Amino acid sequence: MTQRERILVSACLLGEPCRYDGKAVPCEAVQALAASFELVPVCPEQLGGLPTPRTPSEIQPDGRVVDREGHDRTATFQAGARAAVALARESGCTRAILKSRSPSCGVTEIYDGTFTGKLTPGQGITTTALQSAGLTITDESALE
């Protein structure tokens, strides 16, 4: 039997209730890929040790990740990113499909750090780490 290619995927896109608000954002286009690929779920924020639900966090202009209450969560997000890279390597993933706009998984844009809903060009902490590790990254909007 031929082994199917493995793709790292934000767990929330697969229906796991792991977002900051305790919800999932299942994406049918991503879920449909399971017919042809082995999808490896990942939630870097949980891997880094954050609970679900959790206070929303955004990347600040200086690169720190801060939650809405003002707590610096940078180290936790970095730990989650390292764990996601390790999972990708252990699983043999060379590609990832991540949740758009997330401070962990955003691919082309993220929230601007003001907690006002304004978006800015940028990448999440995990996206940057996975790209540095050689993975090809896209978000769910590329499939819809």
pLDDT digits (tens, 9 = 90+) for 86-121: 999 999 999 999 999 999 999 999 999 999 999 999
**What does the CA dihedral 19, 25, 30, 34 come to, rounded to 10 degrees?**
80
Cβ neighbours of 38 (radius 10 Å): 15
4 has pLDDT over 80: yes
**pLDDT tier for residue 58 given thresholds of 50, 70 and 90:** very high
- Nearest in space to 101 (alpha carbons), one of 35, 6, 12, 3: 12
Residue 128 has pLDDT above 80, yes or no: yes
CA torsion, points 8, 12, 15, 17, in degrees to nearest 10?
Answer: 140
The pLDDT-based confidence of 51 (bands split at 50, 70, 90) is very high
pLDDT given at position 122 = 97
State residue 11's pLDDT score.
98
Q: What is the mean predicted confidence (pLDDT) over 35-61? A: 98
Q: What is the residue-averaged pLDDT of the chain?
A: 97
pLDDT score of 3: 83
Q: Do strands 65-67 and 57-59 pair parallel, antiparallel, or not at all (unpaired)? A: antiparallel
143: tokens are 């499939």
- 38, HSE (Cβ side, Cα atoms, 13 Å): 11
d(CA 109, CA 111): 7
Write out the two tokens for 74.
């940078």
Mean pLDDT (whole number) for 76-84:
98
pLDDT, position 1: 58
